[in-house]
Amino acid sequence: MRPKIIKSTAFSKKLLNYLLFLGINTYFVTNTLAQDTTQSHPMYDFVMSKTHAVEDPDKQVGTFDPDNAPSLPIGLVKKIGETKYIICIDSAYFLTDGAYFSAYMALEFPGGNKKIAFAAKDIKFNPEGIIGSEQSKLMLVSEHFIELGEHTKLRLPDDGRNYVSWSCNGFESVNLAGEFIFSKEILIPVGDTSQNVTASFDINVQDLQNVMTTVDFSPFTVKGLSDFEFTVTEATVDMSDYENPNVTLPQCYQETYPDDIKLWRGFHLKYLEVQLPEKMSAHDDPTEIYAQNMFIDEAGVTGTFGANNVLSVGEGDANGWGFSIDNINVGLTVNELTSGGMAGEIKVPIMNNNALDYSALISKNEITGKPDYLFSASPDQPMNIGGLFSKLTIDQSSTLSMTVKNDLFNPTLVLNGDWSLTNPNANFEGLDFQNVTLVTEFPYVTNGQFSLVPTPTDSSSADSTNTQNDPEQSTAKMAKFPISINALQLGVNNGDIGIQANVGLSLGDTAKTDITVSSGFSIFARTETVNNKPSLVFDRFNIQTIEIDLNTNAFGLKGLINFMDDHPIYGDGFEGGIDLTIPKVLGDKNPIVMYTVFGKVNGYKYWAVDVTAPMPLPTAIKGYADGVRVGTSVVLTQISGGLSWHMDNTRSVQTIMDKVKSPVTYENAFSPDYIPDNTKSIGFSAGVGFRYQPVGTESEVSEKLLNGEVIFQIEFNSNGGLSNVLLAGNAYGFAKKSEILSSQAKKYAKGTIAVGYDCDNKIFDLQMTADAQFEGALTASIWSQLYISPSLWYFNFGKPSARCYANALNFATLDAYFMVGQNLEPMPPPPPQVSSVLGGLGNGRDNNAIVNGTGFATGASLMVAVGGGYKKVFNKWHAYADAYFGAGFDLTMVKYASGTHCSGMTEPIGANLWYMQGQLYAYGGMSAGAAKLELDSNDNIQYDQYGNPIILNNFTVISASMAMLLQGQFPNPSYVYGGINLQANIFNIFNLNVTMDFDYGTTCQIIN
């Protein structure tokens, strides 16, 4: 082909235009081709405009012959398959050494969102054709980033490796070299996570619609399966519409392309190495398995991988528990973990290294991006636990769970099954256990529940019974006696793992005497490290409690002995309680209750004995009921007493006032009343129960008039001097004591008084309470205390936080308090009906300053309320009307310690340090209207959780309230505040809310 000499009169203009373009093109190529994107690239836009201009068939030719070419530009077309490849030839010009022209091409990459632009300038031609193959290549005009989908893009650098080869016959091939870049939404790089996973390639192809070539992947993990690292050793990219890799594609792709599977585009990973996470690896060496035929497309990763005999038991380490991986398999479908599992054995050191078969399901954790493992244990034979003389038979319901700690599995084994004990001192079997929890770290055993299982003597008999709970028939033994098992417990005590049990022993001839004895015992095993593994070693066998229940025709005996071993308070020793009933002497429900404790702690011995007994019944022969008469009006119903040595009887005044004790039985005799104390020597207590019963009065009637008890207690110190004295008593009237304590009495009066003197600390404490209730007509409560010590004294008749009060007919409530001395409670704020609408004076006290101050405080209030109910008027509508009124005052006057002053002032407070605070208040209100209430099917009003009727709608006729407040501090400085608030609402139309207040003077924030 020879060059054509263009004779058009427009040739000179075209030549000038081309020279202009050549300068512009040179500038842009020099300054902008290195940009990282084709977006808004002038040269890219120029190529697009040129190639668009030759899309017109009238400007297209099959071969390029300058002698016969139409006016430039022209499109040199070559069709391959269904695709046209068009090269735009433009801007021919002539120089002294020959003719030159420029060429451009835009190729559409399969699946891409934009075309690839190529260009070449100064292409020289002569009659033989294009001169210089390298010079004629159409080079990529800039670095291209092509979006192939939401998660994949193609990067083609402008480094000379991307070009189009052509001739006068048109397009011949395109050489593409670059990398596919994957979004972190599907693939995560190994190592530097700031980068992206890439797959690089270099290919020369004649048809862009039929691209298939090998690619080199960088190592990656799959999002949602980040524990597994993939290294691809052989992979292919399929961008072809005509063929697929020579492998069967997964079913999900078959379903996506039901008409033509060849349209699938993506990556075929033929061979891979999968590195397992550290928790599945042998010691410090990562474990690798091999996989093949996995796929990546725009939706994600699809395929399976797995292996057999991955780890032996000695290689796997689950935080100290050895485990194996006999097999593992993981299946992915478009980045979703759709199948996964592993199986093997795990050894539990604390169970003598017995091995359990396990299996695990592997699932995706959407939050952490790492897999979750759901384990289950499958033991197939009993396990012997030598440290506890035990044999365990594990049920299939046992569970094995794994958490991940420091990149290692951290197992927790929860066992269910059957337990048997073969200790020389105890032997029994057939005990069911549940939720026995084993962990890898101290204390190794954290939980456990046991229950009894029937063990019939003849399993083939339909009438077989639970002999485990029948001492006569049971084969279970403790100290060679037949036993029944009442309770079992697994626990941890000071680092020792123990099994505790409560059993019943058969000690007597049940045909003659009913004797039941129960005992508690413990087996403890300590944890020792053997070959760097925890192991249980038998430690000790303890008997903790013995309980006896003996019934004969003459008497009954119930008791309990508790053995203490290295107790934190009582050291070594025992305590016991017993109830002795003598029906013919004391009655069926009047036991003698005895309590005793003996022991040694911190190098000294201690003991205490306490007895409570009813008065004997032979006095009934003389004509009156149980008890011993004293005079003509009082009958003693019980006596009590106690002796102690080196023990502190802690029944203080406050203890007695905090709770009125119910009748003592052996079950509650174990109380913290007696505490070892070597500063005490002998202690003595005595008490009586009494009933007011004039001669000739029945005991049932007289007990409701007045009954109670009195106790006297005295202790001496180790020097022989008096340590403390206590006198206390309870009195009950209008009802029996038992009725009052069980809240069954509707009419009663009760009171408690306790007075004590602590000689060691010189503290005198007197407290008194009185309560009364008369079937809703009157309810009253009074509390008072006198306290004197070397550093503090006060007398309280009620106080702001515990006022004395009386309520009459649920109509009017009067409360009051009076305090004198030191450590006075602060003056209370006004009631909420006042404080919610008016401001006023704050507390203003420094509580630390007032501890050493002396003064008095008093206050009282009256509250009257009427109405408050609902009366049905129509359907669910109920009318209501109520009113209330209240008034009261509070006054506090204190002499503060020297140096007390107001904040911001230096001169002493008040008059000679006496300072007064006070307040007067009144409030009232009324409301009337109709409310629509929620009713049940029987028209009963429904209430919310606070006891208020549930109101569906409300119509207010009138609602009004008022509040008044006057507060003051004086003298030096003095301050007065007064205020009044009025509110009203009529028919929900007229609303009034007015507040008027004033203040005068300077407030004082008291500082010590």
Three-state DSSP string of 74-87: EEEEEEECCEEEEE
Does the pLDDT of residue 620 top 50, yes or no?
no
CA distance 835 to 660: 37
Q: Which of 215, 196, 104 is nearest to 151 (CA)?
A: 196
Lowest mean pLDDT among 716-730, 837-851, 875-889: 837-851
CA distance 302 to 298: 11
In angstroms, the Cα distances linking 696 to 194, 632, 690, 735, 893 are 101, 10, 17, 19, 55
Structure tokens at 241: 């519409």
Lowest mean pLDDT among 13-22, 111-120, 408-417: 13-22
Q: Which of 927, 933, 928, 926 is nearest to 949 (CA)?
A: 933
Does the pLDDT of residue 481 top 60, yes or no?
no
Percentage of the chain surpassing pLDDT 70?
Answer: 75
The upper half-sphere exposure of residue 309, i.e. CA atoms within 13 Å in the direction of its Cβ, equals 0
Chain segment 802-843, per-residue pLDDT in tens: 899 999 888 899 999 999 998 888 888 899 889 888 866 654
Write down the pLDDT at residue 278. 82
Write down the pLDDT at residue 921. 95
Does the pLDDT of residue 975 top 70, yes or no?
yes
Chain segment 696-742, per-residue pLDDT in tens: 666 666 677 788 888 888 889 888 888 889 888 888 888 877 777 77
Chain segment 37-52, per-residue pLDDT in tens: 445 578 898 999 988 8
Does the pLDDT of residue 296 top 90, yes or no?
yes
CA distance 686 to 713: 6
Does residue 562 contact residue 576 with C-beta atoms inside 8 Å? yes
Q: Which residue has the higher pLDDT, 833 or 452?
A: 833
CA distance 382 to 390: 10
Chain segment 951-971, per-residue pLDDT in tens: 888 888 899 999 999 999 889
CA distance 509 to 511: 5
Write down the pLDDT at residue 491. 61
Q: Which residue has the higher pLDDT, 208 or 351?
A: 208
Write down the pLDDT at residue 26. 39
Amino acid at 186: I
Does the pLDDT of residue 6 top 90, yes or no?
no
Chain segment 559-600, per-residue pLDDT in tens: 777 777 788 888 888 788 777 776 665 655 667 777 788 889
Q: Which residue has the higher pLDDT, 6 or 426?
A: 426
- DSSP line for 459-480: TT-TT---GGG-TTT---EETT
CA distance 519 to 483: 10
Structure tokens at 871: 């009366």
Chain segment 133-192, per-residue pLDDT in tens: 666 789 999 999 989 888 999 999 999 899 999 888 889 899 999 999 999 999 999 988
CA distance 187 to 973: 77
In angstroms, the Cα distances linking 120 to 1, 6, 20, 126, 163 are 20, 21, 16, 17, 10
Write down the pLDDT at residue 313. 77
- Mean residue pLDDT of the chain comes to 78
CA distance 294 to 271: 8
Write down the pLDDT at residue 23. 40
Lowest mean pLDDT among 333-342, 528-537, 647-656, 966-975: 528-537
CA distance 496 to 442: 10
CA distance 609 to 684: 10
Q: Which residue has the higher pLDDT, 425 or 239?
A: 239
CA distance 903 to 901: 7
CA distance 423 to 553: 38
Cis peptide before 73 (omega within 30 of 0): yes
Confidence category of residue 469, pLDDT binned at 50, 70, 90: very low
**Extended beta strands in 55-159, E state:** 60-61, 74-80, 83-95, 98-108, 115-126, 129-131, 138-140, 144-147, 152-156
Write down the pLDDT at residue 236. 94
Write down the pLDDT at residue 849. 46
Confidence category of residue 887, pLDDT binned at 50, 70, 90: very high
Query: How many DSSP H helices and E strands does the chain contain?
Result: 10, 59
Confidence category of residue 621, pLDDT binned at 50, 70, 90: very low
Cis peptide before 277 (omega within 30 of 0): no
Write down the pLDDT at residue 594. 78
Write down the pLDDT at residue 436. 78
CA distance 47 to 41: 10
Amino acid at 561: I
Write down the pLDDT at residue 32. 33
CA distance 752 to 783: 10
Lowest mean pLDDT among 72-76, 151-155, 269-273, 695-699: 695-699
Mean per-residue pLDDT, 300-310: 88
Structure tokens at 35: 């940009």
Percentage of the chain surpassing pLDDT 90?
Answer: 18
CB atoms under 10 Å from CB of 954, counted, come to: 12
Q: Which residue has the higher pLDDT, 255 or 631?
A: 255
Does the pLDDT of residue 85 top 60, yes or no?
yes
What is the maximum alpha-carbon separation in the chain?
158
Cis peptide before 949 (omega within 30 of 0): no
